[in-house]
A and B are shown apart, each in its own frame.
Chain A
Amino acid sequence: MITVEHLSKKFGNFSVLKDINAEIKKGEVISIIGPSGTGKSTFLRCLNLLEQPSGGHIVIDGEDILKKGVNVPKLRQKMGMVFQSFNLYEHLTVMGNVTLGPIKLRGQGKKEAEEKAAELLRMVGLSEKADSYPDELSGGQKQRVAIARCLAMEPEIILFDEPTSALDPTMISEVLAVIRRLAKNGMTMAIVTHEMDFARDVSTRVFYMDEGFIYEEGSPKDIFESPQKEKTRAFIQRLRILKHEIGSQHFDLYKLNADIEAFCAKHTIDKSIVGNILLIAEETLVNMLLPLKKEGQIISLALEYAEKRGEFQMVLGYPGEVYNPMLDEGGDNLALMIVKKKTKNIQHSYSNGINQLLISM
């Protein structure tokens, strides 16, 4: 359906895309992942010519769209796009947003367009909001309207540019649910996303982008479980680790909790296990390590999820004298008893002035 050959894009002297080669077939769901600033969005925007590529070919249904004289508006009708920031028309109602394209560009009658729009709004769960204006909607609702608007043009492929990045965690799932449904119905899609679980479940293929090209591609299983190339491996590895540093005696426990919860949500970890992790973090930090921490010292916490074993490891690093809190039976022992009960194994080590506590759960 789409073949990309040697696509490049420069902004001034800066090469964002160096040499992109890819093929997207009908019915495929492609997730595009990778670090920030590696050209993922630019690649998407080049596909429908929101950015003019500097070189290469993009062939859609046999036609090179980078040739002169290509009917760009016609081309864009084939390719819907959903943006991070929704890009709804604020002065139009939801219904107005969804029917604008079909009426103006496809010459549909108002009644026909509204019937179709009503059906699409029902599909994204927003029938009740047809007469609302965008500023009356939540972010998740706005994005669902944007998807309905996109579908109203009956595109052959939809390009999603970080569709959930501007949303609160509570709203992400409602948008992802709609995209999942589209995937189920066979819609061809290319999605730039940071939602790795989603990328893993929904896509037929994953493109890992780095250094301005598609560094590695493969099935979700290949990319997430056994990436072959060094940078992909490092990227996937980083996803599995949460790092946190505690510099102040009065650190923000709830910020740490929120980070741990978000990290666990990314790996769809059961709620009861999340509760245990939060408990271990609170008991070890607040009751064992913080009281001994001196001004200027930093305690580090790393949380790693070993998916194959379904096991969590928490590594606490703290400077000072050799000290293993697991052997300290002073005080009321409550924290110590809780930590012992809720963990599998705890190892203490000490080197170069840093204590390390390796906690397996």
Chain B
Amino acid sequence: MMIHKTQSDSDVTLALTGRLDSVTQSELTQELEKVFEAKINLLTLDLSALEYLSSAGLRVFLSARKKVTQMGGKMKIVGANEAISEILQITGYADITVMAKRGKR
């Protein structure tokens, strides 16, 4: 998995590419630990280039949301493809997910 970080003030966007699974979840966990060293207002996870997501990744999202909320900030997820949106919905993430309407799967 590749993680691309962009930041302006206290808004951080992490764009994820590839697979977020039980093997790669630790990479995201580590990246988030660094992000949370400062106060975050808005954390955006851009999943446009994410191909695969399993529950291991969802757990990371869940704990990140908790952390951001504790800081008084918000988290949103954008760009998930159809298969990944389905997983996000199963697990009650739809409320924070802004789905990018894309032509491709």
- Min Cβ gap A80→B in Å is 42
B55, B58, B90, B105: most-surrounded residue (chain A CB, <10 A): B55
Among B36-84, those with CB < 8 Å from A are 51-52, 54-56, 58-59, 62, 83
Chain B residues closer than 8 Å to A337, beta-carbon distance: 90-91
A283 with B23: CB separation less than 8 A: no
B86 at the interface (CB under 8 A from A): yes
* Size category, B interface: 10 to 19
Q: What is the CA–CA distance of A287 and B56 in the complex, to the nearest angstrom?
A: 8
* Size category, A interface: 10 to 19
Please name the residue on chain B nearest to A285 by beta carbon: B22
Contact of A275 among B56, B58, B62, B83 (CB under 8 A): B83
A278 with B52: CB separation less than 8 A: yes
A327 at the interface (CB under 8 A from B): no
A111 at the interface (CB under 8 A from B): no
- Min Cβ gap B54→A in Å is 5
B86 with A332: CB separation less than 8 A: no
Q: What is the CA–CA distance of A11 and B52 in the complex, to the nearest angstrom?
A: 52
Chain A residues closer than 8 Å to B62, beta-carbon distance: 332
Contact of B22 among A253, A276, A332, A338 (CB under 8 A): A253
B21 with A253: CB separation less than 8 A: yes
Q: Say whether, besides A253-B21, A272-B105, A282 and B54 are in contact (CB < 8 Å).
A: yes
Q: What is the CA–CA distance of A262 and B56 in the complex, to the nearest angstrom?
A: 24
B87 at the interface (CB under 8 A from A): yes
The DSSP consensus for interface residues of chain A is helix
Contact of A338 among B23, B52, B87, B105 (CB under 8 A): B87
Chain A residues closer than 8 Å to B56, beta-carbon distance: 282, 286-287
Chain A residues closer than 8 Å to B105, beta-carbon distance: 272
Chain B residues closer than 8 Å to A283, beta-carbon distance: 54-55
Chain B residues closer than 8 Å to A67, beta-carbon distance: none
A236 at the interface (CB under 8 A from B): no
A341 at the interface (CB under 8 A from B): yes
B55 with A335: CB separation less than 8 A: yes
A283, A287, A338: most-surrounded residue (chain B CB, <10 A): A338
Please name the residue on chain A nearest to B105 by beta carbon: A272
Chain B residues closer than 8 Å to A234, beta-carbon distance: none
Contact of B54 among A279, A332, A341 (CB under 8 A): A279
Mark interface residues in A254-298 (1 if CB within 8 Å of B CB, else 0): 100000000000000000100110110011001100000000000
Please name the residue on chain A nearest to B54 by beta carbon: A282
A272 with B83: CB separation less than 8 A: yes
B91 with A275: CB separation less than 8 A: no
Chain A residues closer than 8 Å to B91, beta-carbon distance: 334, 337-338
- Min Cβ gap B10→A in Å is 29
A338 with B90: CB separation less than 8 A: yes
Chain A residues closer than 8 Å to B86, beta-carbon distance: 341
- Min Cβ gap B64→A in Å is 14
Given contacts A334-B91, A338-B90, 13 further A-B contacts (CB under 8 A): A275-B83, A279-B54, A282-B56, A286-B22, A286-B56, A287-B22, A332-B62, A334-B58, A334-B59, A337-B90, A337-B91, A338-B91, A341-B87
Interchain Cβ contacts under 8 Å between A and B, 20 examples: A253-B22, A253-B23, A272-B83, A275-B52, A275-B83, A278-B52, A282-B54, A282-B56, A283-B55, A286-B22, A286-B56, A287-B22, A332-B62, A334-B55, A335-B55, A337-B90, A337-B91, A338-B54, A338-B87, A338-B90
